[in-house]
Amino acid sequence: MGNKIIGIFLLFIVGCNSQPETGTVTEKDGITTIKVDLDSVKDGKLTDYFEPEIEYLLLKEDENPDSQIGEIEKLIGFKDKIYLFDSYIGKGVQIFDRQGNFLKRIRNRGDGLGKYIEVADLQIEQDTIYLLAHPGKIIKFDLEGSFIHEIKIPVMGRTFYYDINSKHFFVYSGAKAENLVSEIDHKGSVLKSYFSSHPDIFYRSMGDRVNFYSNNNGFYFSRTYLDTLYTFNQNKFQPQIIFDFGNDAMNHEKMKEKELEMDEKVFWDYFQENCGASYSPFGFSNSKYILSRLETEGKGIVSIFDKQNKTHDLVNFYLINDIDESFNFYPPVYQLESNEVAIALQGPALYNQAVAKKQTMSDEDWKAYQEGKGKDFIEAAFYGKETENYVLMILKTKK
């Protein structure tokens, strides 16, 4: 039957009753509880969390139309290459080197062995590219993009994670599935199902881009509105990190009632104004931080949990760029290698930021900025002007 999902409110009752009442971050029996105080939101500077340097990397568009990027759904750095899943134009995976040169595109659309109608997710582990694809398969490629093998799976997949410890795939099937997560072996058999539908929890269909985060030698699972990150240990999912929103938390019972009473548009308007606060897994996890977003009533907030120091910050959505002072931007959401993370802007958008910056400065100050701390930014912006492809702004998290 699979594990029944633990209700949010039960988790909070257990967590709060077993924790000391002092401190933002508390820990007991291996479970970390983060008390979220929405009144503590502050401005955040890049150098609070990242090393004082930004690398601008233009993913170049050349004469090969395969190099053109539509929309980056997922981006991974692996062994000095950039692998990105383009959900719009490419409908596949594009590979660039660390100088931004286009190398290859994996696009096997069609019917038959190694082919797909749509790609849902991308992961790279142990020198193998894994694509979660529709209809119902996981396709394996080598790092050069050559087809190795496909595994047919009996569940709908939206996101997934290949766990190198169990050697199994964990496939997230979405809020309307009978079970949120299925554990699948390399033969395509479902070994176990987890997180059965639970009447107390408002799921709503969300296009969660990140349900699985890397966590040292394992992984976390979560989804929007769940407020808990689970780890997979000893053949089961266990609560690892609980976000306790207290009185600001979403009222799941009320949201479920209103969703049934109202038509879609009316409910969405109601939801925007009355949703309360909840967790939104959209960001990255590395050895230092778990960075993600919070869902609140009309305000963008970023959650930054320092795993090493056991501290938690709530910061406004746009981080203050005190490195090269180009412009303030939303926190990185793509995990590259080691402590590298990135955001991605289309070339013209970056160029427009340079134009806006210039308009705030005198000619003399602009020249000094262009030749000094803004040199890399301005150079990338002017190259980006000529392409619809993306520029990566790569940062390194503090050690």
- Distance of CA 68 to CAs 4, 116, 265, Å? 44, 20, 35
pLDDT (0 to 100) of residue 4: 39
Which CATH architecture is the domain 25-44+70-344 placed in?
A: Beta Barrel (2.40)
Contacts of 189 (CB under 8 A, 6+ apart): none
User: Which percentage of the chain shows pLDDT scores above 70?
Assistant: 93
Band of residue 18 on the pLDDT scale cut at 50, 70, 90: very low
pLDDT (0 to 100) of residue 148: 96
pLDDT score of 21 more than 70: no
- pLDDT (tens digit, 9 = 90+) per residue, 67-82? 999 999 999 999 999 9
How crowded is the C-beta side of 20, counted as CA atoms within 13 Å?
6
pLDDT score of 39 more than 60: yes
pLDDT (0 to 100) of residue 113: 93
CA dist 57 and 330 (Å) reads 17
- pLDDT (tens digit, 9 = 90+) per residue, 323-333? 999 999 999 99
Predicted TM-score (pTM) of the model is: 0.89
Question: Average pLDDT over the chain, rounded to whole?
Answer: 89
pLDDT score of 11 more than 60: no
pLDDT (0 to 100) of residue 205: 66
Mean pLDDT of 273-297: 90
- pLDDT (tens digit, 9 = 90+) per residue, 46-66? 999 999 999 999 999 999 999
pLDDT score of 16 more than 60: no
pLDDT score of 129 more than 80: yes
